[in-house]
Amino acid sequence: MKLPTFTYYRARISTVRLSRNRLGFAGRPERKIIIRTSIGPVATAKLAINDEGAILAAANGRGFAGPVVWCCTPEGEERVVYSDGRTGAGRPISLAFQGSTARALVGGGANLSILERDPQGTVHREDFRAAAAPPYVIGRTRMASIISPGSATVPTDTISARNSPVLLPARLFPGPGPSGRITNLWMDGDTVIAQVRRAARWEIYRYTAPKSRRLLLRASQRPRAVAVGGGAVAVAVGRTIWSARGGKRLKKGPRATSVVAALAVDGTRMAWFERRGRGADAALRLRMGRVR
C-alpha cells in the first residue's frame, strides 16, 4: 500500500550567514521557526528582523489566520506573539520591530489590534477601529507606527510604545488623488513606499518626511514583489526587476528566469526567490544581484 506523503503544509524560516563579499552564502541554513498546519496552504509569510538578529515571522494561509512568532531567546526558545485558532480570527497584516520590541498589526476589516512584545515580557494588546480601508502597515522606526492609506496619513510615533499610535498627531502626506488608490505599503527608515492603482496602470511612489512624494515607477501590470531597505527600492514587474537607491527613479535591472516569488533589498544588494513548478511540488531558487 502506498502511503500518502502530504498531510500538512508548512512554512520554515531559516537564517544563513552571508559570504565575505556579501553576495553569496557561507555555511548551511539554520532553521529558526517552523509553522505547520493542515488547514490549508500557507500562502504568505511575513518577516521582520532587528539589529540584534531577532526575527518576527507570520504565516497566513487562505482562509485562516497564521500565528506571529518571535525568535529567539539565547536558549533558542521562541515566543508566540499571536495565535488565534477561531474561525474568522484576525490575520497578521504587518510586522515590525521598534528596537527590541516586536510589534504586529493584526485584524480584519476595520477591527485592528497592535500587539507588542518585549523579548522577556508578556504580550500587550491594543484594539482599535481603523478609520480607513486597508492596507495598513506598521512601521519599524520611530517615524511612524501605522499608516491609514485611505487618507494617506502617517501618524508619528515618537513616544512610548504603550501609547496608541492612532491617537497620536497625524502627519499628512499628499494622497494619490481621486483617480488613484493605494493598494500596498512598505516602510524603511523615514521612507514609505506606496503602490497605487490608477486606471489601468500601477504606480510606485516614494514618500519621505515631512511632505515629499516622488513617482519611482509606472507599470502596466501589477508588481509581483516590492522591497525597500537600506535606502534602496526594488520592484519585480513580471520577470524584470527594477531598482534604485537614494529616491531616484527605478532602472531596469536583472531578469528572472521564472516567477519572482519574493524580493528583498538592502542598500546595494538585492536577492530574490524564483519559483519553479506549482503547488506542493514548487521549488525555490535564490538569486542575488546588485542594485543599479
Residues that bind other proteins (CB under 8 A): 3-5, 7-8, 34-39, 64, 66-67, 69, 77-80, 83-87
- Closest distance to other proteins from the beta carbon of 34 (Å): 5
Cβ-based nearer residue to other proteins, 92 or 176: 92
CB of 66: closest distance to other proteins in angstroms?
8
Q: Would the CA dihedral through 85, 225, 134, 82 be positive or negative?
A: positive
Closer residue to other proteins in complex, CB, 4/169:
4
CB of 199 to other proteins, least distance (A): 40
Nearer to other proteins, 59 or 256 (CB): 59
Nearer to other proteins, 5 or 21 (CB): 5
CB of 11 to other proteins, least distance (A): 10
In the complex, the smallest distance separating the C-beta of residue 49 from other proteins, rounded to whole angstroms, is: 19
In this complex, which beta carbon is closest to other proteins, that of residue 11 or of residue 235? 11
| 278: nearest Cα among 37, 7, 2, 41 | 41
- Omega before 210 cis (within 30°)? yes
Q: Closer to other proteins by CB, 36 or 129: give it.
A: 36
Q: Least Å distance between CB 187 and other proteins? A: 26
